[in-house]
Amino acid sequence: MSIRNRGTVAAAATFLAGLTILSAVPAHGAPGPVAIRQKPAAGKDVPLRVSRPQSGLSPGRPAGEAGPAEAKADLRTVASGDTLWGMAQQALGDATGWGRVYDLNRRTIEREALRHGHSSSDRGHWIFPGTVLALPQPSAARTLPTSRFVPASCPTTYGELKDTRCGFLVVPENRARPSSRTLRLAVARVRSSSPRPHADPIVFFTGGPGADGLADIAGLTEAGLNRDRDLIVLSQRGTYSSERPLTCPEIDRFYGERVRLRYDAPSTGDRYARAAARCRDRLTAQGIDLAAYNTGENAADVADLRRALGIREWNVLSHSYGTQLALVYLRMFPEGIRSVTIDGVVPPSVATPGWTWSSMRESFDNIVSACAAQPSCRQRHPDIGATYLRMVRQLEAHPVTTYVTVPQVGRVKVVLDGGALLNWMVRASHAPETFAVGVDELAHGHPERIARQWASAWLPGSQGKFAHGFSLSVWCSEWVPFETPQEQLAKGRQAFPELPRSVLAQAPQLPFLRQACQAWNVPKAPDSVREVTRSSIPTLAVSGSFDAQTGAQWGRYAARTLSRSTVVTLAGVAHGAYDTPCGSKVITSFFDDPEHPDTHCVNTVEPPPLAVDSEGADTDG
């Protein structure tokens, strides 16, 4: 999550339900629970249990019914590693047809599940080696556009892309609709800096949701992440460099205006909802199917990209929302994935507006603890944490208005209330050196430093390059419907019991999101989108201890069901570790040897020194 068409409910639910099935094959009879360990025990198969659809939402005919085409079905003996998804892909050329494979073999699959000690197969979730299944014949009725890669010149939006080949991945906008129009998604393949690179490239998933992956190429290469491997970057559907981006200048303008408004006032929420509604009306008038811009379709795009480029095996590098995409991709389409790095982790099974509170608290506590651990900061600011919380309460009751100068913008009016100061913590986590000084100055009647930092976070803004519409399509279908306002508030109270309800009513970074989602009006995703990802594919979970957006606790959480995982937390690092010296070193060593990454630098990383007075702080800090 960065600091940043209308389909029917049935169509969207059918697509996601069908696409998120991947049956696991217990290789040696009925499996026990997946052990959480660094590596699987020698000689053991770790069963991969992944997502299944909601009952009643899967494609295909009712259970047990077979059409004329199935009467001529071929036979297939299940081997270890087979899935209904893979069989559907082989037989039909369409993995979403897994339901037809299940329906055709329901009695056999359920009988084998009982024989292996299961009460049921969980609608094909468990299939077993040695079982003979019938494969359905392709039907001429379903004709989705075929995904393909088309070479093209590289865009220059973010400067010249040297040693890079580019093109477009052409995909269906909505795979649930055979008549769906196509999208052209920008792709860049950056050549490795090594003259003899490894054959397995790295594919990068950026965050947001809504950021343009091509904007990250310079940072990725400067960090040396293409040292030994080519680097492939996809501009995800709906983002700036791809066709029909869901950019919302209406929301960009609102964010610029918000710095002079009370952050958590109902009138501010009304403005946000109106901006979202205007953006929605404009996009839907262009024929854009907002319900088709979701993580499931995004994962299917990535799977299509690997096949279209003819890559046998690759490594996934993901950041922020990109980790949510990576975990869904790993669960839905594990074929061809050699290893996965998740940096700043968003677990799909728990991500909601209220989920953000725990990361804010974790970051706050760790920054305050860093001050306490540094003698000069501890001596000058012994109660900086308590002072900060007191100022949140004070500003919520009595907001402060000031004027500051913002580069490229000029003189700006800024209103600081409790909600603004709380959310300033996100910016402070990326520049913690001035946290204590800024809070102390504010407490002594000098809000200018914090006001300037707060305004600079939103002005001049993304200048039309951030796809706020894609953010809303994901959040409003996959996050908001899975948590009530009461549950969201309870998580705020658990994290910050010291703060007033008016502050806690709005989740960090996502104020008035429920109101905006009412205007955005996309259908709720099926429950299967929330399933935990379980995998034995080697995974590195890396986090920063100062991350106020995706706290380090969530890297550990995701790793619990990834049996060959390595967990790394870098002290004093905020949201995004891949472009730090130690972070990039650990990640590149992991891709070289996923079982034994070099993590020696982790213990040498320390939080930066916190300034204790204005002379020691950057004037513009």
For residue 487, is it within any domain?
Answer: yes
For residue 200, is it within any domain?
Answer: yes
Does residue 274 share a domain with residue 302?
no
Quick check: helix, strand or coil at residue 409?
coil
Q: Can you give the residue range of the structural domain that contains 502?
A: 249-288+463-525
- Name the DSSP class of 481: G
For residue 614, is it within any domain?
Answer: no
Number of domains in the chain: 4
Does residue 309 share a domain with residue 220?
yes
Separation of alpha carbons 254 and 271, rounded Å: 7
Does residue 235 share a domain with residue 331?
yes
Q: Tell me the mean pLDDT in the region 363-389.
A: 98
Does residue 201 share a domain with residue 322?
yes
> Confidence band (pLDDT; 50, 70, 90) for 93?
confident
Structure-derived torsion over alpha carbons of residues 590, 594, 595, 601, reported in degrees to the nearest 10: 0
Separation of alpha carbons 504 and 488, rounded Å: 9
Cβ atoms 163, 190 nearer than 8 A = yes
Does residue 363 share a domain with residue 450?
yes
> Cα 320–510–482 angle (5° rounding)?
80
For residue 209, is it within any domain?
Answer: yes
Check which CATH number belongs to the domain holding 187 and give it.
Answer: 3.40.50.1820
For residue 3, is it within any domain?
Answer: no
| pLDDT at position 50 over 50 | no
Q: pLDDT tens digit string along 299-340?
A: 999 999 999 999 999 999 999 999 999 999 999 999 999 999
Q: pLDDT tens digit string along 514-535?
A: 999 999 999 999 888 899 999 9
Does residue 253 share a domain with residue 394?
no
Which pLDDT score is estimated for 58?
Answer: 28
Separation of alpha carbons 321 and 302, rounded Å: 15
Sign of the dihedral defined by the CA atoms of residues 369, 375, 377, 381, in that order: positive
Does residue 181 share a domain with residue 157?
yes
Calculate the average pLDDT of the chain.
Answer: 87
Does residue 469 share a domain with residue 457?
no
For residue 612, is it within any domain?
Answer: no
> Confidence band (pLDDT; 50, 70, 90) for 617?
low
Q: Which of 480, 503, 525 is the last residue of a domain?
A: 525
Q: pLDDT tens digit string along 351-366?
A: 999 999 999 999 999 9
| pLDDT at position 22 over 90 | no
For residue 615, is it within any domain?
Answer: no
Does residue 315 share a domain with residue 366?
no
* Among candidate residues 192, 145, 185, the one with its CA nearest the CA of residue 166: 185
| pLDDT at position 155 over 80 | yes
For residue 429, is it within any domain?
Answer: yes
Separation of alpha carbons 448 and 610, rounded Å: 19
Which pLDDT score is estimated for 178?
Answer: 75
Q: Which of 441, 461, 481 is the last residue of a domain?
A: 461
Q: pLDDT tens digit string along 531-573?
A: 999 999 999 999 999 999 999 999 999 999 999 999 999 999 9
Q: Which of 415, 433, 461 is the last residue of a domain?
A: 461
Which pLDDT score is estimated for 206?
Answer: 98
448-456 vs 418-430: helix crossing angle, rounded to 10: 70
Global pTM reads 0.82
Does residue 254 share a domain with residue 233?
no
Q: pLDDT tens digit string along 97-146?
A: 777 888 899 999 999 999 999 888 866 878 999 999 999 887 644 556 68
Does residue 234 share a domain with residue 338?
yes
* Among candidate residues 183, 121, 116, the one with its CA nearest the CA of residue 147: 183
Which pLDDT score is estimated for 6?
Answer: 26
Cβ atoms 536, 46 nearer than 8 A = yes
Does residue 432 share a domain with residue 467?
no
